[in-house]
Amino acid sequence: MFAGDATFNYKPDRSVTGASSSLSMSFKTSKFFDTFFKMRDTLEGFYNHDNTLIYSIQRTNEGNYSAIDELTFNYGVEKTSVHSKRIRPTNRVTIDTILTTADNVTDMLGVFFYMRGVNRKILKPGDIFTLTAAFGRDLVKVQFIYQNQAIVERGNVKYNTHYFKIDIFDDAFESMKTAAEIWIGDDDNFLPIKLRTKLKIGYAEVYYKNSSSLAHPLSCSIVVKK
């Protein structure tokens, strides 16, 4: 069952020291789910001029649970350390730890934009791409499995896309196997066109709406005349 919807926003942003841009997502449950399980979650990641994630913050408001999770990324020659901190109401700190990994690491929001760096022209069905996401006390393994090319229809527009299934090995998702799916536009922008994420209360879907100042024409889109 459809649980709610989400909005992504990418913009220039210098509100965090060292950052030049930010990527954010806000999620809210639909009116039906609000009656028994209300969710109002926001995630925001801040990137430097090299598009490297340096800081992220997640504000969780789910039913009777609320918290703020902060991640600060420090990149070494061989390993990356992530300072993970969780703050509950009345400034009670429940997590304050350092996570260390030699893997490619990001936050949960960055997971869904990771594939923009893949060479779409040489993709083959069955190709697997792996990375690690910092989440609370844990480093969560994530893998993308390329499926095929697919068409996504939204209103009077069709998009030529590349379709991936995503395995996220964390209990927050209803099914670790194919915990999410993503359709990425088949042009040089390689923008996410559709995202579908399974949750314990249903699922959330995100669709591309509009953008500005793209580096390349959005040639994956085709306007359908009705």
Q: Report pLDDT digits (tens) over 132-167.
A: 999 899 999 999 999 999 999 988 999 999 999 999
Q: Are strands 192-199 and 180-185 parallel, antiparallel or unpaired?
A: antiparallel
Question: What is the model's pTM?
Answer: 0.80
Say how many domains are in the chain: 1
Higher pLDDT, 208 or 201: 208
Domain range enclosing 139: 2-210
Q: Is the pLDDT of residue 172 over 60?
A: no
The C-alpha atoms of residue 91 and residue 133 are separated, in whole angstroms, by 25
The single-letter DSSP state of residue 211 is -
Residue 220 maps to a domain: no
The C-alpha atoms of residue 197 and residue 108 are separated, in whole angstroms, by 12
pLDDT band, very low/low/confident/very high, at 20 (cuts 50, 70, 90): very high
pLDDT band, very low/low/confident/very high, at 39 (cuts 50, 70, 90): low
Please provide the DSSP assignment of 2-62 as one string. Answer: EEEEEEEEEEE--SSTT-SEEEEEEEEE-HHHHTT--BEEEEEEEE-TT--EEEEEEEEEE
Asked if 189 contacts 218 with a C-beta cutoff of 8 angstroms, the reply is yes
